[in-house]
Amino acid sequence: MSDVKPRIRLPRTAKAGQAAEIKTLVSHVMETGLRKDSDGNTIPRMIINRFTCEYGGEMVLDMALEGAVSANPYVEFDIMIGEATEVVFTWYEDGGAVYTETKELSFG
């Protein structure tokens, strides 16, 4: 789907050795597969089923999502800042589509 748009907020200034908060939001309908359209047909499930955040080759968070996560899934978590600057975010959609976004930490 083309309307999948990730938004990510990293800490404004990163300091090595400190934990910092990351907020992510991806625009997505998160269709549960439980709803029916006006003709009574079940709308097939289409959700983001997995979200990962990697930093310096290591996993920060690996999240499995079900249909009970709200539309436009919002996730907030903490990262332990090290030497690396790149943080990689990946969203996996039902049907195999993968959306990746890379952000750079700015050290202050």
Q: Name the DSSP class of 72.
A: S
| CA gap 88, 8 in Å, rounded | 11
Rounded CA-CA distance 34/80 in Å is 38
Nearer to another protein, 57 or 96 (CB): 57
CB-based burial of residue 87 (10 Å sphere; 0-12 exposed, 13-18 middle, 19+ buried)?
buried
Of 7, 10, 28, nearest in space to 20 by CA: 10
Q: Give the Cβ contact number of residue 50 at 10 Å.
A: 15
CB of 3 or CB of 58, closer to another protein: 58
55 binds another protein (CB under 8 A): yes
Site string for another protein, 81-100 (x = CB under 8 A): xx------------------
Interface residues for another protein in 11-50 (CB under 8 A)? 18-21, 32, 34-35
Q: Which of 5, 9, 27, 78 binds another protein (CB under 8 A)?
A: 78
Least separation in angstroms between residue 84's CB and another protein is 9
The residues of the shown chain that bind another protein, judged by CB under 8 A, are 18-21, 32, 34-35, 54-56, 58-71, 73-82
